[in-house]
Amino acid sequence: MEILACPIDKHHPLELYIFEEKDEIVEGLIVCPKCLRWYPIRDEIPEMLPDELRKGPEDLPFFKKWKEKIPEKILLEGKPFNIKSGLQKKPLNPLL
């Protein structure tokens, strides 16, 4: 973790939140405290992609799965996706 920096603003050190751990961190979150960008760790792999390469439909299931363990500031203000960004809106048709 000491050598990682945010790919957007180059800030370090980053914050690490571990959600599931075995021999390695299986699932977790890396957060840049300066710009509030969050990067998921899935299947032991940190995914530190720039915003333009990230896709809400791929990141939001992870975000929803761990929302109870994600810091509130990231839930509300995190980048590139957060609760306020509208990506978690319910469908207009309740049958969907």
Which residues, including other chains, have CB under 8 Å from residue 63's CB and lie 6 or more apart?
A: 40, 70, 81
Task: Give the model confidence (pLDDT) of 28-82 as tens digits.
Answer: 999 999 999 999 999 999 999 999 999 888 888 898 899 999 999 999 999 998 8
Residues 20-48 as b/e (b if ≥16 CB within 10 A, e otherwise) read eeeeebebbbbbbeeebbbbbbeeeebeb
